[in-house]
Amino acid sequence: MLFLKQAAKILANLIVMGSSILARDFVQTYCQALSNASNNGVAQEAVQNIKRVSKTMTEAEARQILGVTEDSSREEIVQKYENLFEQNAKKGSFYLQPKVHRAKECLEEVYKPKEPETKKGKLDTSQTTRHSPTIW
């Protein structure tokens, strides 16, 4: 009986020690694979592909989702968005809901008024008023 208890302890120690060695080797191999991937540029390429795929939708796709034409006004687009958004909220289409929202965001960018461009770091003084110093 004593022999079986000692054998069980030895076997348990071997399993724990073997598992820790395997885990350590797995982590070391994974780190080496990451290092190789970053040295080869694979990681950067994967990140760039993810960014490329996750870009916003095209204007044509947004118009198709909302069911508007190029001649549609901003108000008509907002109305279509609200109708579709509310319909999907009631019936619970989790696939269409974000698509409708992204389409509205895309078309908002198209209809957004252009801001005057100023050079970075320089103040556009053409629109500021000059005041003479006040003497008290």
Question: Domain count of the chain?
Answer: 2
Looking at the structure, tell me whether residues 107 and 67 fall in a common domain: yes
Looking at the structure, tell me whether residues 67 and 96 fall in a common domain: yes
What is the model's pLDDT at position 135?
A: 52
Mean pLDDT of all residues in 48-60: 65
77, part of any domain: yes
95, part of any domain: yes
Name, of 50-54, 56-60, 71-75, 131-135, the range with top average pLDDT: 71-75
What is the model's pLDDT at position 134?
A: 45
Q: Does 127 have pLDDT greater than 60?
A: no
What is the model's pLDDT at position 79?
A: 92
Per residue in 61-98, pLDDT (tens digit) is 889 989 998 888 888 989 999 988 888 877 777 778 88
Looking at the structure, tell me whether residues 22 and 67 fall in a common domain: no
| Those residues with Cβ within 8 angstroms of residue 104's Cβ, 6 or more apart along the chain or in another chain | 62, 66, 77, 78, 81
Looking at the structure, tell me whether residues 63 and 102 fall in a common domain: yes
82, part of any domain: yes
Stretch (H or E) spanning 102: helix 96-111
CATH number of the domain within which 69 lies: 1.10.287.110
Looking at the structure, tell me whether residues 100 and 61 fall in a common domain: yes
pTM over 0.75: no
Looking at the structure, tell me whether residues 63 and 94 fall in a common domain: yes
Q: Can you tell me the distance from the alpha carbon of 113 to that of 107, in angstroms, rounded to the nearest whole number?
A: 12
Biggest CA-to-CA distance, the chain:
105
Looking at the structure, tell me whether residues 27 and 61 fall in a common domain: no
Range of the domain at 31: 1-36
Per residue in 18-53, pLDDT (tens digit) is 888 888 888 888 878 877 777 766 656 665 655 555
What is the model's pLDDT at position 115?
A: 65
Q: What's the start-to-end Cα distance of the chain, in Å?
A: 104
105, part of any domain: yes
129, part of any domain: no
102, part of any domain: yes
133, part of any domain: no
Instruction: Tell me the C-alpha to C-alpha distance, in Å, between residue 110 and each of 10, 29, 68, 94.
Output: 72, 49, 13, 25
27, part of any domain: yes
Higher-scoring residue by pLDDT: 129, 47: 47
Q: What's the pLDDT band for 136 if we cut at 50, 70, 90?
A: very low
What is the model's pLDDT at position 116?
A: 61
